[in-house]
Structure 1
Amino acid sequence: MQASIGFVVFLSLYLFLSLPYPSLGANAKCNSNDRKALLQIKAAFIDRYHFVSWAPDVDCCEWYGLECDPNTGRVITLSVLAGNLSGQIPPAIGDLTDLQILIFHKLSNVTGQIPSAISKLVHLKQLILSNTNLSGPVPSFLGQLKNLTFLDLSFNNLAGSIPPSLFELPNLGGLRLDRNKLTGSIPDSFGNFVGTAPDLYLSHNMLSGPLPKSIGNVNFTLEIDFSRNNLQGDPSLLFGKNKTVHFVDLSRNLFEFDLSKVEFPDSLTNLDLNHNKIFGSLPNGLTELTLQFFNVSYNSLCGQIPQGGKLQSFDNYTYFHNRCLCGAPLPDCK
């Protein structure tokens, strides 16, 4: 599936935060407790090129990768991006108690578990610990960080089940747990998100079982990506005329259902269902959608591909390896 709008937005955030920050602490010196915590964080890592500007004779609000509140001098952003930094995220991270954005990204030598000290960061709005070598579970204490709007733990070695407590985050707009080693089922609590349901990325794990029935009550506004797991059953409860989702990727699972009975939301633009056990025919309702990406290959679909809409704009690879689909762009039906 094409890159989602949400991912592009947050990629832009990464690039922005990778630049040296101007001083935002001109009206207030760096808080002494924050300075102490930052020096402990620096000391916890080997190969500290990222921290070369963290010099004793410079106010810490001037240090690279930091942003301070100009009125209080408290550190509100810590961003550590792309390097050979090695070590574990230390407990001192929890002493930056006014922190709103915490990012450790593209650091393959950062190891260990997600420290429990992060639970003290009650003002966090964005927590991005991605493309590292973090292991252990997805901590249930993350459900205590009620101000989180974006949680990204993707591209790690996290294992175990998804904690049900994550549904308790009332302001969450995006949840990325993709490309880990997570097992078990999607929690039933994910059908009870408080507020607007977040964009949900769970791909490239080892999740199994059917989708919880409760998730049919949720209206995901932009993207769902459950691809490359071992999920089973009927996921059609994700769809419906009353939904507003734009991107759905359920590819490379074990889903088995009759596609001909599914009603799709008018908002849907990207749909990937390849490599499942889907049967039936393609519903005529697909011709009413403004599809930008579509793939139903490697299933057990049959019948004529409906004429109209965008369905004939896709090539053979969108439809091949089905039981008996026919009609343009495939050969004519006999």
Structure 2
Amino acid sequence: VAFGQYHIRCLPKERDALLQFKAAIFDPYDMLSSWTTPDCCQWEGIRCTNLTAHVISLHLPARYYHYKSLSLGYYYESLSRLYISGEIHKSLMELQHLQYFNLSFNSFRGTIPEFLGSLTNLRYLDLSSCYFRGQIPTQISSLSHLKYLNLAHNYYLNGSIPREIGNLFRLEYLDLSGNSFEGYIPSQLGNLSNLHQLYLGGYHSALKIVTTDQWLSNLNSLTHLSFNSISNFKSSPSWLRTIAKLPKLRELSLIHCGLSDHFLLSFNPSNFNFSHSLSILDLSRNSFTQPMVFQLVSNTTSNLVELDLSWNLLKGLTSNHFGLAMNSLELLYLSKNVFKGEDLKSFMNICTLHSLYMDGNNMTEDLSSILHNFSSGCVRYSLQEFSLAHNQIRGSIPDLSAFSNLNILDLSENQLSGKIPEGTRLPSHLEQLCIRYNSLEGGVPKSFGNTCTLELLDLSFNKLSEDLTVIFNHLSGCSKYSLQDLSLTFNQIIGSIPDLSAFSNLKMLDLSHNQLSGKISEGTKLPSHLQQLCIRYNSLEGGVPKSFGNTYTHCNN
């Protein structure tokens, strides 16, 4: 049917249903602005089948976009959200051929509509992070073709998990995490023999697992399993044996489940082994204190790539057996424990380790001794990301060139002091160096300027006192082409603003809260790609020179 310049493929009943849905929606960002033309198959988020013109897909998740902002020396990677809100109108019952339905990350706030159970051709349903409250309607169990169901992070969904979900035999993906469910996990979930990914629990959850019913053992297709805040999991070690026998399991998360050393001692790890396929293990936010957990891991998993033991109470030296046995481990998260610097020796022989996060521990040693102990093994060649932030590490910045492949190093919020010695070399591939919130003095050595890959340098909240022109001269080796973010805020840097045009890729520069003075010379140029310049809280005189042009010179502090 022709209508002006449009070729109408849309079925009138379905178009009317979508317009009624739109009328019940608050759309502050005009996400549905295209919903005016006669052919609804051309509208944003709508897809129709070519054969019959029935609507088969409604894809309207909130849209996010990234932007960087600079405030008090922090570079924020921020997300802005474009969303719709209101109610999901029952007119959508007309879309009986709908197979794909995604309204995630919007703001509906009511209850999940019961009428969704009538859309019996649905294969994919995503209503995650929509602020729904109340209980899951049992009508969802009528969606017998459903393969994907995601109701995660609505926070105020409550009551019990309907046992009727166990009737969705085709389900391959089920995420009910991040809600406020209570009671026992229904054993009927054991009927979902096609399930590949299962995510249950969350920080608002009061879910429990039935201690005598081994329903999980039926889920032989599981590749991803996450239990978060399952309060009684610790009372039955037999569940861990059940999980260990799942033949295809690749990722296992047992977060905030009250697991402790006593839990590990209550069974013999030699009685079982995890599947060879297990590559990611997350045991964060539990109550482990002794390194025996490392022994358990190395004795029961052989191909682990990622291990998260952050937010426990771990301390002490781990046996060298762990480092030698973990010959696939790439990511190790040990933040928020009580390790000391000498305990790093245990990890120096993990020759595959790319990322090590030790922030927020109990390290009080000198940085040179910590790094010397750690750099004695092969890990110094493999390590790419290394965080020692939020400790009480002392000393100054030693030569770091032994870590030849390091990309990111974070030494923030420690007790480093003194001048950075001239000639201190950085790793040749270093991209980000963060040493904020310490007590470093003097300036920046020339050797920093010879790091040709350096993109971010954060020396804010220290006691640097060198002339700004000298600092930029020292950075004007090959790093002048690579630097994108430079923060020197909250120091005691003197001098005025030099010509910065040689730093051709610099996007963010924070010089606020220093002792800069005098006039900015007319003709002083800024980098051509600069987006944010912050020079507040100095003693600069006069105005902004015309040579700054229209460069964005705003900061948020």
TM-score computed with the length of structure 2 as normaliser: 0.44
Letter in 2 for 1:215: I
Structure 2 vs 1, CA of residues 44 and 112 (structure 1 numbering), >3 Å: closer, same or farther?
farther
Q: Structure 1 residue 250: deviation in Å?
A: 0.8
Higher alpha-carbon deviation: 252-261 or 73-82: 252-261
Aligned match of 2:328: 290
Aligned match of 2:242: 214
Letter in 2 for 1:106: S
Aligned ranges 1:57-206 → 2 under 5 Å:
64-71=44-51, 73=54, 74-108=97-131, 110-132=132-154, 133-179=156-202, 180-185=204-209, 188-204=213-229, 206=231
Mapped to 2, the partners of 1:149 and 1:321 lie a distance apart of 43
Q: Structure 1 residue 29: deviation in Å?
A: 4.2
Aligned match of 2:374: 329
Higher alpha-carbon deviation: 182-191 or 44-53: 44-53
Q: 318, 342, 350: which is aligned to 1:309?
A: 350
Mapped to 2, the partners of 1:240 and 1:85 lie a distance apart of 45
- 8 Å CA contact 1:124–1:147 kept in 2: the answer is yes
Letter in 2 for 1:225: S
Q: Structure 1 residue 80: deviation in Å?
A: 1.1
Q: Structure 1 residue 127: deviation in Å?
A: 0.9
Mapped to 2, the partners of 1:89 and 1:316 lie a distance apart of 40
Question: What is the identity percentage for the equivalent residue pairs of Structure 1 and Structure 2?
Answer: 24
- 8 Å CA contact 1:126–1:151 kept in 2: the answer is yes
CA deviation profile, 1:122-141 (whole Å, cap 9, x unmatched): 00111111232322222221
Q: Structure 1 residue 195: deviation in Å?
A: 3.3
Q: Structure 1 residue 224: deviation in Å?
A: 0.8
Q: Structure 1 residue 237: deviation in Å?
A: 7.9
Q: Structure 1 residue 270: deviation in Å?
A: 0.8
Query: What's the RMSD between the two structures over aligned residues?
Result: 4.4
Q: Which has the larger radius of gyration?
A: 2
Q: Structure 1 residue 144: deviation in Å?
A: 0.9
- 8 Å CA contact 2:182–2:208 kept in 1: the answer is no
Letter in 2 for 1:228: H
Letter in 1 for 2:285: R
- 8 Å CA contact 2:100–2:122 kept in 1: the answer is yes
- 8 Å CA contact 1:252–1:276 kept in 2: the answer is no
Mapped to 1, the partners of 2:147 and 2:25 lie a distance apart of 28
Q: Structure 1 residue 177: deviation in Å?
A: 2.1
Letter in 2 for 1:202: F
Structure 2 vs 1, CA of residues 38 and 96 (structure 1 numbering), >3 Å: closer, same or farther?
farther
Structure 2 vs 1, CA of residues 158 and 29 (structure 1 numbering), >3 Å: closer, same or farther?
same
TM-score computed with the length of structure 1 as normaliser: 0.70
Mapped to 1, the partners of 2:16 and 2:119 lie a distance apart of 10
- 8 Å CA contact 2:330–2:352 kept in 1: the answer is no
Q: Structure 1 residue 61: deviation in Å?
A: 5.4
- 8 Å CA contact 2:126–2:149 kept in 1: the answer is yes
Aligned match of 2:253: 225
Structure 2 vs 1, CA of residues 37 and 165 (structure 1 numbering), >3 Å: closer, same or farther?
farther
Structure 2 vs 1, CA of residues 82 and 317 (structure 1 numbering), >3 Å: closer, same or farther?
closer
Aligned match of 2:295: 260
Q: Structure 1 residue 221: deviation in Å?
A: 3.1
- Structure 2 gap segments, 5+ residues each: 1-7, 55-96, 364-369, 377-557
Q: Structure 1 residue 273: deviation in Å?
A: 2.5
Aligned match of 2:424: none
> Relative contact order (C-alpha < 8 Å, sep 6+): which is higher?
1
Mapped to 1, the partners of 2:361 and 2:259 lie a distance apart of 22
- 8 Å CA contact 1:113–1:136 kept in 2: the answer is yes
- 8 Å CA contact 2:169–2:193 kept in 1: the answer is yes
- 8 Å CA contact 2:323–2:346 kept in 1: the answer is no
Mapped to 2, the partners of 1:92 and 1:256 lie a distance apart of 50
Q: Structure 1 residue 249: deviation in Å?
A: 0.6
Query: Is the partner of 1:107 in helix, strand or coil?
Result: coil
Mapped to 2, the partners of 1:256 and 1:159 lie a distance apart of 29
Mapped to 2, the partners of 1:56 and 1:121 lie a distance apart of 31
* Aligned length in residues: 299
Q: Structure 1 residue 182: deviation in Å?
A: 3.2
Q: 279, 300, 320: which is aligned to 1:246?
A: 279
Mapped to 2, the partners of 1:48 and 1:318 lie a distance apart of 42
Letter in 2 for 1:123: H
Q: Structure 1 residue 282: deviation in Å?
A: 3.1
Aligned match of 2:417: none
- 8 Å CA contact 1:270–1:291 kept in 2: the answer is yes
- 8 Å CA contact 1:127–1:152 kept in 2: the answer is yes
